[in-house]
Amino acid sequence: MKEFIQKLPKAELHLHIEGSLEPEMMFALAQRNQVSLPYQSVEEVRQAYQFHNLQSFLDIYYAGAAVLQTEQDFYDLTWAYLEKSAAQHVRHTEIFFDPQTHTDRGIAFETVVNGITQALEDAKSQLNLTSYLILCFLRHLSAEAAMQTLEQALPHRDKIIAVGLDSSEVGHPPNKFKAVFDRAGAEGFLTVAHAGEEGPPEYIWEALDLLKVSRVDHGVRAIEDEQLMARLAEEQIPLTVCPLSNVRLCVFQEMKDHNLKKLLDRGLCVTINSDDPSYFGGYMEENFIETQAGLDLSHTDLLQLCRNAFNASFLSEPEIQKHLREIDTLESELETS
Ligand code: ADE
Ligand code: ZN
């Protein structure tokens, strides 16, 4: 099973690039940029990663991002994620970045976007790994701040395919950002949003109806609302589920309690993703391995999850078909073995 998972061609659709900052790189960048950290060692950093909810993680995650200062830092961060992902048979990735985490510290929007984009371009030529970039607004900040961030992004439209919404969910419903998302849509961006991670099903309805999202990030609390489940199934609206993240942030107590298999069995377009791999104990492969083990997923389930991810991606139809054929080939090898 492990070997099968390793070989599966994967697409990742829910990955915060700042959440791929490994403690080793955090220390190296802190030294390079003369930033002081509240930790004495890499081990101490890892020990601090004990979370009881989303906010307890976000506090540490935003503090860690302070070591990122130069275009080279953003390049190195992104390149490290891409190299690891390519080694795990990730063929395509759609990466979130949080510009406000950096611009609010005085880092230029260009520094962030150019460093990330250069690494994405190099991955296409050197690692055969394609990607898109998604700008996320921090929902604990104001709608006005989000609108200013959108305006900063306009000259970089060619590098950014969509906008999203992340950070502290409860108390910051999607409706707060309707005007920003309307403007983003009019400017030609696709839209996605975190909804139903800790927040109620109503937030998922709002993401769909007010923010016009193409996908829902997390969305696991949809299971509490039958009408919503029917709509997600009927319209095949993808959910970018992050199993290790959900367990680490106590959305589910243990992997065996996760509802991913239930969502899949109800015909929803569920995908597996890593969210913030450095903080939650694994990249795509580890997420697949632990979810398979916890929920006793079959080969058929795993193939479906991979097909769902390419179908849910923003790739063109011919590109999607090319990846699906690779999955078909793997499936026929499985049947003949
Ligand atoms: N930012 C990084 N990871 C996140 C998550 N899981 N939920 C909301 N915001 C985030
Ligand atoms: Zn996320």
What is the per-residue pLDDT across 19-35, written as a single tens digit (0 to 9) for each?
A: 999 999 999 999 999 99
Q: How many angstroms does the Cα of residue 14 sit away from the middle of ligand 2?
A: 6
Q: Crossing angle of helices 109-127/71-87, nearest 10°?
A: 30
Contacts of 45 (CB under 8 A, 6+ apart): 23, 26, 27, 37, 39
Query: Region 289-309: what's the mean pLDDT?
Result: 98
Q: For residue 281, give the nearest of 290, 294, 271, 272 by alpha carbon.
A: 290
Q: Percent of the chain at pLDDT above 70?
A: 100
CB atoms within 10 A of CB 52: 10
**Residue 252 scores a pLDDT above 90:** yes
Q: For the chain, list the domains and their CATH numbers.
A: 2-336 (3.20.20.140)
| 19 in contact with ligand 1, CB cutoff 6 A | yes
What is the value of pTM for the model shown? 0.98
| 167 in contact with ligand 1, CB cutoff 6 A | yes
| 276 in contact with ligand 1, CB cutoff 6 A | yes
Q: What is the DSSP string of 117-151?
A: HHHHHHHHHHH--EEEEEEEEETTS-HHHHHHHHH
Mutation probe of ligand 1 site: the residue of 15, 51, 134, 276 with most atoms within 8 A of C-beta: 276
List pLDDT tens digits, range 263-280: 999 999 999 999 999 999
CA of residue 319 relative to chain centroid, distance:
21
Q: Measuring CA to CA, how many Å separate 29 from each of 34, 75, 128, 244?
A: 8, 12, 27, 26
Q: How many CA atoms lie within 13 A of 44 on its CB side?
A: 7
Maximal C-alpha separation, the chain: 58
Q: How many angstroms does the Cα of residue 25 sit away from the middle of ligand 1?
A: 20
- Residues 127 and 131: their CA atoms lie apart, in Å, by 11
pLDDT band for 95, please (50, 70, 90 cuts): very high
- Residues 229 and 119: their CA atoms lie apart, in Å, by 38
Dihedral sign of CA atoms 91, 158, 33, 68 in order: negative
- Residues 213 and 145: their CA atoms lie apart, in Å, by 20
Contacts of 154 (CB under 8 A, 6+ apart): 187
**20: its two tokens:** 């791929």
Q: How many angstroms does the Cα of residue 238 sit away from the middle of ligand 2?
A: 14
Q: Which of 197, 198, 206, 290 is catalytic?
A: 197
pLDDT band for 209, please (50, 70, 90 cuts): very high
| 244 in contact with ligand 1, CB cutoff 6 A | no
- Residues 240 and 274: their CA atoms lie apart, in Å, by 9
| 168 in contact with ligand 1, CB cutoff 6 A | no
Q: How many angstroms does the Cα of residue 194 sit away from the middle of ligand 2?
A: 7
Query: Region 195-220: what's the mean pLDDT?
Result: 98
| 195 in contact with ligand 1, CB cutoff 6 A | no
Q: How many angstroms does the Cα of residue 336 sit away from the middle of ligand 2?
A: 38
List pLDDT tens digits, range 317-326: 999 999 999 9
Q: Which residues surround ligand 2, an ion (CB under 5 A)?
A: 275
Query: Region 215-233: what's the mean pLDDT?
Result: 98
List pLDDT tens digits, range 31-57: 999 999 999 999 999 999 999 999 999
Among this protein's residues, is 44 annotated catalytic?
no
Burial of 268 (0-12, 13-18, 19+ CB in 10 A): buried
Mutation probe of ligand 1 site: the residue of 60, 81, 102, 194 with most atoms within 8 A of C-beta: 194
Query: Region 59-75: what's the mean pLDDT?
Result: 96
Q: In what order do the strands lie in the sheet with 162-166?
A: 10-16, 90-97, 130-138, 162-166, 190-195, 215-218, 239-241, 270-272
